[in-house]
């Protein structure tokens, strides 16, 4: 049976600003998303049955219809019924390396990989923008995960403007295994606490979202200046997540005081905290020193780096 193996990278948010409420009930956001080389591996295989099957050994990842990868396959079946009857069912195997419910878009990356994998399996020849459009119906981060790189994301996070590729920046990531932050909870709590600061007028909302294009962090990215980028990191959701999760705040403080760390921030709705670091050697040293200061085995630490791509094909058989 034909099969494709895809690499599905995680993302971090270099910037996340909550601007206001959209008429569709979502938040209007201005974000800078960055792919990193911490990635899941997704195998997409033609099955001899006419069903969708998801396999994943990670205890926190469901294998039923609530898996975003499953929903991506279901979407392809609904959109391309002729291809489905011609080629039959699909088996999806997820090798999870991206921490789950971590603010790293792990589920979205898996869904993006399934869209790309089924496109190949069924020889549909979809363009990147067609894949992104399909992805947007599954979740706001899915379109970004298809192409990856460094991107300004506005609207719900699905309107993408690519930025030039960054030179490699090394990163140390920390995530407590047993700590999960619900994205829905983080946004709801932010609305309760800071909704009074939201921009209300639709025109002003769009103007504010556009302003990110000429903002300080985008200028730093255009200059490829890692020190400046690190100083301009921003995440509005820290205002609700850090007070509610003291461990996350402590981890952020421990990262911030390490030599070689250029800047540190929580990613997305957390609880992952990342630090941008001067060099690979420094990143390995920071990881060891943080481990010494927080000897809790529940804390997972990774050294990773920025990359310039999203979903990538590795094996084609
Ligand atoms: P985002 O940054 O987009 O908010 P996240 O990294 O915070 O994403 P995910 O890892 O995507 O969150 O997981 C969120 C929830 O979705 C988990 O509780 C998990 O049970 C469920 N889930 C469904 N499908 C997947 C998948 N393929 N991989 C990981 N989690 C999944």
């979205």: which residue's tokens? Answer: 108
Residues 123 and 134 in one domain: yes
Cα–Cα distance measured from residue 113 to residue 116, given in angstroms and rounded to the nearest whole number: 5
pLDDT (mean) for 14-27: 92
**How many structural domains is the chain composed of?**
2
Burial of 57 (0-12, 13-18, 19+ CB in 10 A): exposed
Residues 189 and 271 in one domain: yes
Nearest CA to ligand 1 atom 3: 105
Nearest CA to ligand 1 atom 19: 61
Q: In this predicted structure, what is the pLDDT of residue 49?
A: 84
Tell me the two tokens of residue 54: 């998801």
Ligand 1 centroid vs 178 CA: distance in angstroms?
A: 14
User: Which CATH number characterizes residue 272's domain?
Assistant: 3.30.70.890
pLDDT (mean) for 107-121: 98
| Ligand 1 atom having least distance to the Cα of 110 | 27
Residues 124 and 85 in one domain: yes
Is 90 exceeded by the pLDDT of residue 202? Answer: no
3 state DSSP class of 6: strand
Residues 93 and 206 in one domain: no
Instruction: Report whether 255 contacts 286 (CB < 8 A).
Output: yes
Ligand 1 centroid vs 69 CA: distance in angstroms?
A: 10
- Nearest C-alpha neighbor of 103 from the set 168, 184, 24: 184
- Chain-wide mean pLDDT for the chain? 95
Q: What phi, psi does 155 have (nearest 5°)? A: 70, -135
* Parent domain of 142: 3-167+308-316
pLDDT (mean) for 29-41: 97
Give 22's pLDDT tier (boundaries 50, 70, 90): confident
Give bridge partners of residue 274 from the DSSP assignment: 173, 265
């396959």: which residue's tokens? Answer: 73
Cα–Cα distance measured from residue 38 to residue 8, given in angstroms and rounded to the nearest whole number: 9
pLDDT (mean) for 27-39: 96
Residues 26 and 163 in one domain: yes
Nearest CA to ligand 1 atom 15: 101
Is 60 exceeded by the pLDDT of residue 316? Answer: no
Cα–Cα distance measured from residue 106 to residue 227, given in angstroms and rounded to the nearest whole number: 27
Ligand 1 centroid vs 267 CA: distance in angstroms?
A: 14
Residues 148 and 174 in one domain: no
Nearest CA to ligand 1 atom 28: 107
| Ligand 1 atom having least distance to the Cα of 67 | 24
Active-site residues: which are they?
A: 11, 141
Nearest CA to ligand 1 atom 4: 103
Give 25's pLDDT tier (boundaries 50, 70, 90): confident
pLDDT (mean) for 135-163: 95
Residues 81 and 120 in one domain: yes
Residues 193 and 262 in one domain: yes
pLDDT (mean) for 99-110: 96
Residues 160 and 20 in one domain: yes
Give 291 or 48, the one with higher predicted confidence. 291
pLDDT (mean) for 134-144: 95
Angle of the 68-79 helix axis to the 106-121 helix axis, nearest 10: 30
Give 88's pLDDT tier (boundaries 50, 70, 90): very high
Instruction: Kindly give the residue spans of alpha helices, DSSP state H, lying in 80-201.
Output: 81-87, 106-121, 128-136, 142-147, 183-194
Query: Residues 6 or more apart from 64 whose CB is under 8 A from it?
Result: 54, 70
Residues 108 and 123 in one domain: yes
Tell me the two tokens of residue 291: 């481990």
Q: In this predicted structure, what is the pLDDT of residue 317?
A: 52
Q: What is the CA radius of gyration of the chain?
A: 19
Helix (H) or strand (E) segment spanning residue 249: helix 246-256
Instruction: Report whether 299 contacts 134 (CB < 8 A).
Output: no
Residues 7 and 92 in one domain: yes
Tell me the two tokens of residue 295: 């000897």
Q: Quick count: other Cβ atoms within 10 Å of Cβ 130? A: 15
Q: In this predicted structure, what is the pLDDT of residue 50?
A: 84
Per residue in 161-200, pLDDT (tens digit) is: 999 999 899 999 999 999 999 999 999 999 999 999 999 8
Give 242's pLDDT tier (boundaries 50, 70, 90): very high
- Ligand 1 binding pocket (C-beta < 6 A) is 60-62, 66-69, 94, 100-108, 110, 141, 183, 268-269
Q: In this predicted structure, what is the pLDDT of residue 129?
A: 94
Pocket test of ligand 1: the residue of 16, 36, 100 to mutate, having most ligand atoms within 8 Å of its CB, is 100
> Which region among 123-132, 192-201, 219-228 has the lowest average model confidence (pLDDT)?
192-201
Q: In this predicted structure, what is the pLDDT of residue 204?
A: 86
pLDDT (mean) for 279-295: 97
User: Which CATH number characterizes residue 7's domain?
Assistant: 3.30.230.10
Q: In this predicted structure, what is the pLDDT of residue 23?
A: 83
Cα–Cα distance measured from residue 149 to residue 306, given in angstroms and rounded to the nearest whole number: 8
Q: In this predicted structure, what is the pLDDT of residue 208?
A: 87
Instruction: Kindly give the residue spans of alpha helices, DSSP state H, lying in 33-127.
Output: 68-79, 81-87, 106-121
Q: How much of the chain, in percent, has pLDDT values that exceed 90? A: 88
- Nearest C-alpha neighbor of 255 from the set 228, 240, 239, 233: 233
Residues 226 and 276 in one domain: yes
Give 315's pLDDT tier (boundaries 50, 70, 90): low
> Which region among 19-28, 189-198, 286-295 has the lowest average model confidence (pLDDT)?
19-28
Cα–Cα distance measured from residue 52 to residue 77, given in angstroms and rounded to the nearest whole number: 9
Is 70 exceeded by the pLDDT of residue 241? Answer: yes
Helix (H) or strand (E) segment spanning residue 53: strand 52-56
How open is the CA angle 282-167-142, to the nearest 5 degrees?
105
| Ligand 1 atom having least distance to the Cα of 180 | 18
- Nearest C-alpha neighbor of 286 from the set 298, 297, 272, 274: 274
């Amino acid at each position: 049976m034909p099969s494709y193996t895809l690499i599905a990278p995680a993302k971090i948010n270099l910037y996340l600003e909550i601007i206001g409420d959209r008429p569709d009930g979502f938040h209007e956001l201005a974000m800078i998303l960055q792919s990193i080389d911490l990635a899941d591996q997704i195998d997409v295989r033609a099955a001899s049955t006419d069903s969708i099957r998801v396999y994943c050994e990670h205890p926190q990842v469901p294998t039923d219809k609530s898996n975003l990868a499953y929903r991506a396959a279901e979407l392809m079946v609904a959109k391309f019924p002729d291809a489905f009857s011609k080629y039959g069912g699909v088996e999806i195997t997820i090798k999870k390396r991206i921490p789950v419910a971590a603010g790293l878009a792990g589920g979205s990356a898996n869904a993006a990989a399934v869209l790309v994998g089924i496109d190949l399996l069924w020889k549909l020849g979809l363009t990147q923008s067609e894949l992104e459009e399909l992805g947007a119906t599954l979740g706001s981060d899915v379109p970004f995960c298809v192409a990856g790189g460094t991107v300004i994301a506005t609207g719900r996070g699905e309107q993408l403007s690519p930025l030039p590729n960054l030179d490699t920046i090394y990163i140390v990531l920390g995530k407590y295994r047993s700590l999960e932050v619900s994205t829905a909870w983080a946004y709801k709590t932010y609305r309760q606490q800071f909704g009074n600061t939201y921009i209300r007028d639709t025109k002003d909302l769009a103007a504010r979202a556009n302003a990110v294009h000429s903002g300080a962090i985008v200028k730093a990215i255009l200059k490829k200046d890692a020190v400046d980028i690190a100083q301009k990191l921003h995440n509005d959701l820290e205002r609700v997540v850090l007070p509610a999760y003291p461990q996350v705040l402590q981890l952020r403080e421990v990262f911030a005081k390490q030599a070689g760390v250029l800047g540190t921030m929580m990613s997305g709705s957390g609880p992952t905290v990342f630090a941008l670091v001067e060099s690979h050697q420094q990143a390995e040293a920071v990881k060891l020193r943080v481990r010494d200061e927080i000897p809790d085995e529940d804390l997972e630490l990774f050294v990773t780096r920025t990359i310039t791509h999203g979903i990538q094909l590795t094996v084609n058989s």
